[in-house]
Structure 1
Amino acid sequence: MNEKQFSITEALRFARHDFMNQLQLIRMNLELGRVEDAKSVIDAYASRMLELAELNKLGLPKLYEWIQTAPWKYPGLNFEFSCKGEQVDERIDSPATKILDRLLGELKNRLNPYDELACHVAITAVSGVFTMGITVIGRLENLDLALISEERSVLQIRAEQLSSEEWKFTVTAI
């Protein structure tokens, strides 16, 4: 899959757009008198920033960039991520992003434009053990695992659940 590279200007434009959307959502909720909803938007945005700070601690710049730009590269997929951990071996960086790009590329190729999929990436790196759980929920077609599992030199991918409604994988450092 050809990975879309963003210039600094493009990345900043996307980031400003996303931030403006959040501000507009807060403003709309406040104008409608929905203060608790406005607070929820603020809390969700702050939580995302804390997760990004945790992700940065891993010392994996390509994965950090991938997580931040994935919603722009893969529109139609609703992304969430969580991260808890400490610095890990940098050899994990490229293989982890390649696995994610292959999986999400397959999803993008199969995605019906009228369907929305939820994609959650949960990353943990504790005591040098790196684990990345990937869960995709929505209407899904069969997946050829050979398309995403060739990065076996550093990481191992294991399918936990492959059904028409959920794909669930675990990626671990070997």
Structure 2
Amino acid sequence: MDTKNYTVTEALKFARHDFLNELQLILLYIDLDNKEEARNAILAATGRLRSMAMLERLRMPSVEKWLNTFDWVHTEFSKQITCDIVAADRVADDREVANYLEQVIRSLAAVLDPMDDYELVIHVTATDSEWRIQLVLDETVAAICPDISTKLNVAITETADHGQWTFTISGR
């Protein structure tokens, strides 16, 4: 993977920074006597943390690391992640999958307007027999997304409809 290989200390530093930012936002809502926004911020933060913790069940450590450090490496995207994962052994070479996902994101970032904010929704699902990672962006991305071929033993689909572009990689 071409991304920075974070040490444990660096990863903890970034995670602490992110956590403190979320706490400061919640404190701001409380100071403004906006209990509903504070509650929503707490629920959103705990939901994100649950999803990130659930990635361990995927049993693809390189993909898990790529998803956990995504926000620190790809600041041009605002990432949301959802996970529904059943723990099972996977056949795919997870390092190759993580490298391929990185290549897809880097290719996208290279053609996007750096002044715009792009919300990337990532859905990770896995049963005991298969896994799937979907990347969802605004449909305008489909027109400029470069074709990225792969020789991995995985299924790749790409669709653009209903105002969004969906890229899916799946395997066993």
- TM-score using structure 2 length: 0.88
CA contact (8 A) 2:59 2:89 kept: yes
Do the aligned partners of 1:132 and 1:170 also contact (CA within 8 Å) in 2?
A: yes
Partner SS state of residue 152, structure 2 = coil
Aligned counterpart, 1:3: 3
Shift of 1:96: 2.4
Once residues 77 and 138 of structure 1 are traced to their aligned partners in structure 2, the CA distance between those partners, rounded to angstroms, is 15
> What is the aligned-residue identity percentage?
26
Range with greater deviation from structure 2 (43-52 or 17-26) = 43-52
1:85: Cα distance to partner?
A: 1.7
Partner in structure 2 of residue 57 of structure 1: 57
Q: What whole-Å deviation, never above 9, does each CA across 1:94-117 have from its counterpart, x for those lacking one?
A: 232122201110122123221000
1:167 aligns to what SS in structure 2?
strand
Offset from partner CA, 1:29-81 (integer Å, 9 cap, x none): 00000011011111011111211222111111111111110011000201011
Call closer, same or farther: CA 1:88–1:82 in 2, change over 3 Å. farther
The aligned residue for residue 156 of structure 1 is 155
Q: Give the structure 1 partner of residue 81 of structure 2.
A: 81
Query: Is the aligned partner of 1:101 residue 2:99?
Result: no
Determine helix, strand or coil for the equivalent of 1:120.
Answer: strand
SS of 2:6's equivalent in the other structure is: coil
Q: Deviation at 1:138?
A: 6.9
1:139 deviates by 5.0
Pairwise CA RMSD of aligned residues? 2.1
- SS across alignment from 2:66: helix
Q: 1:95, 1:151 within 8 Å by CA — same for their partners in 2? A: no
Q: Tell me how far 1:127 sits from its aligned partner.
A: 3.1
Instruction: State the one-letter code of the partner of 1:73.
Output: V
Show CA shifts across 1:131-154 (max 9, x none).
111112275352222x3x31432x
| 2:168 corresponds to | 170
Total equivalences in the alignment? 170
Query: In the alignment, which residue of structure 1 is the partner of 2:145?
Result: 143
Structure 2 distance, partners of 1:95, 1:2, is 12
Is the 1:99–1:151 contact (alpha carbons within 8 Å) kept by the matching residues of 2?
no
User: Do the aligned residues in 1 keep the contact of 2:140 with 2:165 (CA within 8 Å)?
Assistant: no
Structure 1: state its 5+ residue gaps. Answer: none
In 1, Cα distance between equivalents of 2:93 and 2:160 = 23
Q: Structure 1 pair 72/90, CA: closer, same or farther in 2 (3 Å)? A: farther
Given residue 156 of structure 1, which amino acid in structure 2 is its aligned partner? A
